[in-house]
Structure 1
Amino acid sequence: MIEELRLRNFEGFKDEKINFTGGLNLITGRNSVGKTTILDAIVYSLFGSVPSVENRLLVRRERGVRDMETYLRFRSPVNGSRVEVMRFAELRRNRFATKEAKLIIDGAEVQVEGVEDLRRRITRLIGVGYRAFNWIIYSRQGRLNEILEPRREDMDAILQITLLREISEQLNIVIRDLRRTESEYRMIKVQLIPLREERVNELQREVDELNEELKELRSGLKLGEDPAVKILLRKARELEEAKATLLEAINSKKSILARYGLKNLESVKRESERLAERLKDLEAELRSIEGEVKELRDEEAKVFGELKVLEDGHRVRLELKMEGVARCPTCGQKIDEQTLSSIIEDEELRIA
């Protein structure tokens, strides 16, 4: 029984979902509203083609539309399982191509190897092949005369002679599958089972070796209960700890030497002596520099003293010039204005 049909860009349907009910479903409507299209969609969803129609004409004829999808859910009349079929197709340079086809049975996806494999599986699920389906179950409009006056090959389909051929082909497929399965079984029997037995034997040997080691450990534990053995074991642990400490110190020393580009303690001693000599040289240079700095500071103090005296005298002479005094206030000597101006200019040059 068909339960649901979904169409996207299939003939006149852009995006449609149709639910069917149990029993008889009646599809009515005016001409060219899509009644036949629904039946065509069911046949295409089952077998991947529609009789007397090119697949490329099934894609909705609308500008920019290149792909098509169909979904059909039904109950298998053979075993009652719930079957879902999905087909995804597209137009490539005006040629029809199936992108993907999926088959889901009772909620689990079944791996299919192409559209022909899917058609064979659908034939098994509904109990009838493509040609018999289109003669016995579905007939397109205008084919009534063909049914009433069928050709010889069509009569074969109606009388299920063709169906018997299809069943024979399906049996051949099953036989090939059985032979392939038999070949795989022989490979497992000849190759995998011996490998498994060999691995089991290896594991058994490993188990036996571990049991022997366990026995030796138990013997060692019994021996370890002796007080002398306990003391020896404690000393051994202390020795291991001392070795670990020593190894850590050695590694630390190597790390420090490597950080400064040194190889051993002798190179450390040489580097230390070199640095001591360098330190002495630097100390001597420092003392020399300190002496030079002191001389420069004394010279600077002397210059600043002279500059101070010069600035004070210059200030006094500027005041004399401004006041029009003709004698020096310090020595009382007579000074004319031209000489005073010359002295002031000379002092300004020296101060600058």
Structure 2
Amino acid sequence: MIKKIEIVNFKAYDKASFRFGEGVNFIYGANGAGKTSLMEAISVALFGSQWVTRWGGRRWSHFLRRGAAWGEVKLYISHGGREIVVVRRFGEEGTVSSGTYLAVDGGVVARGDSDVTATLVSKLGLRLDEYAHLLYIRQGELRRILQETDYIDRIFRLDEFDKVDEVVKDVHDEFRARRERAGGRLEELEKRLPVLRSRLDDLRRRLEEAEKRAAELEEA
């Protein structure tokens, strides 16, 4: 969950901070109010150069406020009980390594544009193509998004239901196989039981005869 974003010298923003609550958040305002810029700031914070060059098709200078030497986005995320903060400072030519880092529960775990992105993607389980196709929906694109069933399955983990079904089926098959094996052994034991009883009766008769002979020898 995205909790807050802080923006400095990002496009039209001089300095701004936005908080987000649980559930659905609505961003509204007049044309030119900065709604798209806010979404772009979140995208840049999450994916850095991957978003700027590969998906956005831009240069870093496009996101830098006119007249500013540097800009910065700072994104606060709560995920899996951990507090994640990603900071990306950038200039006209790209990110500033010393000002680009990822912190988890207060400890820095990655620095630099590519390492921050790779580590964040690993922790969140969210790839750029999935984010771009589903979570970042531009105006008029909803119909196309609804047709992206593969992405929808991965984002909402619907594919995991198929995996659960497979596991349940495997467990059921194994249980049935063990029951059949156990049933076969039980049937075999039932077939052998009369033979074992006959042997036991024979041993009892022999024991009685031996005891009788022993008694006769003692009397003699």
Give yes or no for TM over 0.5.
yes
Match for residue 74 of structure 1? 77
Flag the 1:143–1:59 CA change in 2: closer, same or farther, 3 A.
Answer: farther
Match for residue 27 of structure 2? 27
**The one of 48, 57, 61 aligned to 1:56:** 61
1:296-350 deviation digits (Å, cap 9, x = unpaired): xxxxxxxxxxxxxxxxxxxxxxxxxxxxxxxxxxxxxxxxxxxxxxxxxxxxxxx
Answering whether residue 52 of structure 2 is matched by residue 47 of structure 1, we say: no
Normalization by structure 2: what TM-score?
0.60
Aligned partners of 2:8 and 2:72 also within 8 Å: yes
Per-residue deviation, 1:111: 3.4
Per-residue deviation, 1:22: 2.3
Q: For the residues of structure 1 that align with 2:104 and 2:124, how far apart are their CA atoms?
A: 13
Answering whether residue 126 of structure 2 is matched by residue 123 of structure 1, we say: no
More helix, by proportion: 1
Q: For the residues of structure 2 that align with 1:156 and 1:6, how far apart are their CA atoms?
A: 33
1:218-258 deviation digits (Å, cap 9, x = unpaired): xxxxxxxxxxxxxxxxxxxxxxxxxxxxxxxxxxxxxxxxx
Q: For the residues of structure 1 that align with 2:16 and 2:6, how far apart are their CA atoms?
A: 6
Per-residue deviation, 1:30: 0.9
Unaligned runs of 5+ in 2: 155-220
Per-residue deviation, 1:124: 1.8
SS in 2 for 1:98: coil
SS in 2 for 1:27: coil
More strand, by proportion: 2
Flag the 1:74–1:37 CA change in 2: closer, same or farther, 3 A.
Answer: same
Answering whether residue 103 of structure 2 is matched by residue 104 of structure 1, we say: yes
Matches within 5 A, 1:84-233: 84-91=85-92, 96-100=93-97, 101-112=100-111, 114-144=112-142, 146-147=144-145, 160=154
Aligned partners of 2:5 and 2:17 also within 8 Å: yes
SS in 2 for 1:103: strand
Aligned partners of 1:103 and 1:110 also within 8 Å: yes
Match for residue 179 of structure 2? none
Q: For the residues of structure 2 that align with 1:120 and 1:18, how far apart are their CA atoms?
A: 25
Q: Which amino acid aligns with 1:88?
A: R
Q: Which amino acid aligns with 1:15?
A: K
Per-residue deviation, 1:148: 6.0
Match for residue 190 of structure 1? none
Normalization by structure 1: what TM-score?
0.39
- Identity value in percent: 29
Aligned partners of 2:70 and 2:89 also within 8 Å: yes
Q: For the residues of structure 1 that align with 2:146 and 2:150, how far apart are their CA atoms?
A: 14
Per-residue deviation, 1:157: 5.0
Per-residue deviation, 1:80: 2.2
Aligned partners of 1:135 and 1:158 also within 8 Å: no
Matches within 5 A, 1:218-297: none
1:192-240 deviation digits (Å, cap 9, x = unpaired): xxxxxxxxxxxxxxxxxxxxxxxxxxxxxxxxxxxxxxxxxxxxxxxxx
Per-residue deviation, 1:140: 2.4
Q: Give the greater-gyration-radius structure (CA).
A: 1
Match for residue 16 of structure 2? 16
Aligned partners of 1:102 and 1:109 also within 8 Å: yes
Match for residue 243 of structure 1? none
Give the total of aligned pairs: 149
Per-residue deviation, 1:144: 4.1
Per-residue deviation, 1:136: 2.1
- Higher relative contact order, chain-length normalized (CA < 8 Å, sep 6+): 2
Match for residue 213 of structure 1? none
Q: For the residues of structure 1 that align with 2:9 and 2:137, how far apart are their CA atoms?
A: 23
